[in-house]
Amino acid sequence: MGWIGDTVDSIKSIQIRQLLTQVVSLGMIVTSALIIWKGLMCVTGSESPVVVVLSGSMEPGFKRGDILFLHMSKDPIRAGEIVVFNIDGREIPIVHRVIKVHERQDTGEVDVLTKGDNNYGDDRLLYAQGQQYLQRHHIMGRAVGFLPYVGWVTIIMTEKPIIKYILIGALGLLVITSKD
């Protein structure tokens, strides 16, 4: 009896140990992703260091599905820079080029006008009603780097959530069943 009991105990302990290992390794994956994201936030100074291009308004430079790396420094904003900005009352940030800058002498505040390279006119129609210019606080960052196509992953996932759930399920299953 004692021998059987020992065996059962050892099997149980192995399973618990394995389960714990898997939970820990899953936790490691999630936390390391979080660390990378938050680390990028610190380094770039932008609250979203990577954005996916969603519209064709900057074609042929940036197409839908390309990703941009942002940087937010204290440097003043100048014409020609590609900035990502938020409009009050709009959820999705916009990536467009600065075409006009007026910087105040006394306060250093800036008025900025943007335009998409592929759009016919400037962005005043996109801004909130009556808004003529963007100010500093609207701007989330300026684009410094570019990587094509990679953003399609997130576009597909947001537009077809089923694929996201299947992917997460499959990955989870893989982590749980793998005996490493």
Partner 1 sequence: MHSFGYRLNGLLTFAVTILALMCVIASLSDNLNIPSPSAEIQIMNINWFQKQPKGSDEVSLRMNISADLQSLFTWNTKQVFIFVAAEYETRKNSLNQVSLWDAIIPAKERAKFWIRSSNKYRFVDHGKNLRGKEFNLTLHWHVMPKTGKMFADKIVMSGYSLPEEYI
How buried is residue 26: exposed, middle or buried, by Cβ count under 10 Å (0-12/13-18/19+)? middle
Q: How far is CA 176 from the centre of its chain?
A: 28
Q: Is 122 a catalytic residue?
A: no
In angstroms, the CA 53 to CA 60 distance is 12
Compare residues 53 and 159 and give the one whose CB is closer to partner 1: 53
Residue 50, classed as helix, strand or coil, is strand
Can residue 145 be called a binding residue for partner 1 (CB under 8 A)?
yes
What letter does residue 110 receive in the DSSP assignment? E
Residue 83, classed as helix, strand or coil, is strand
Compare residues 62 and 138 and give the one whose CB is closer to partner 1: 62
Can residue 104 be called a binding residue for partner 1 (CB under 8 A)?
yes
Active-site pick, 46, 57, 66, 138: 57
Give the interface size with partner 1 as a residue count (CB under 8 A).
30
Catalytic residues: 57, 96, 123
Summarize as ranges the residues that interact with partner 1 (CB under 8 A). Answer: 60-62, 76, 78-82, 97, 99-106, 108, 111, 115, 117, 122, 143-148, 174
